[in-house]
């Protein structure tokens, strides 16, 4: 089997640092890519919006209210649908 590599740029604080993920199979490489995609900020933000809306539909209450999330923050989440 061939090897696959995925190079990722480092964090903002360490731009010179690189990460390399190597896999023995293409299937493993695709699993890593999917795991990294799911861990992205945008994916998590969309998930939060989706589940917040689902909970609100089921209960009639905004689940973020109990945590004191400001109206402005709720509007920002809703505005990015």
Question: What are the structural domain ranges in the chain?
Answer: 5-73
Q: What is the pLDDT of residues 6-47, one digit of tens each?
A: 666 656 677 677 777 778 888 888 888 888 877 778 788 888
Distance CA 12, CA 25 (A): 30
What angle is formed at CA 8 by the lines to CA 2 and CA 10, rounded to 5 degrees?
150
Position 81 confidence tier, pLDDT thresholds 50, 70, 90: very low
- The pLDDT of residue 32 is 82
Please answer whether residues 37 and 43 qualify as being in contact, where contact means their C-beta atoms are separated by less than 8 angstroms.
Answer: yes
DSSP summary character for residue 81: -
The H-assigned helical ranges of the chain are 26-38, 41-59, 71-79
pLDDT (tens digit per residue) in 40-69: 787 888 888 899 889 999 999 888 887 777
């Amino acid at each position: 089997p061939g090897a696959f590599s995925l190079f990722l740029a480092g964090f903002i604080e360490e731009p010179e640092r690189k990460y390399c993920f190597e896999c023995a199979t293409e299937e493993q490489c695709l699993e890593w890519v999917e795991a990294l995609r799911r861990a992205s900020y945008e994916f998590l933000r969309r998930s939060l919006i989706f589940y917040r809306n689902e909970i609100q539909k089921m209960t009639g209450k905004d689940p973020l209210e109990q945590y004191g999330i400001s109206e402005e923050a709720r509007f920002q989440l809703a505005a990015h649908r």
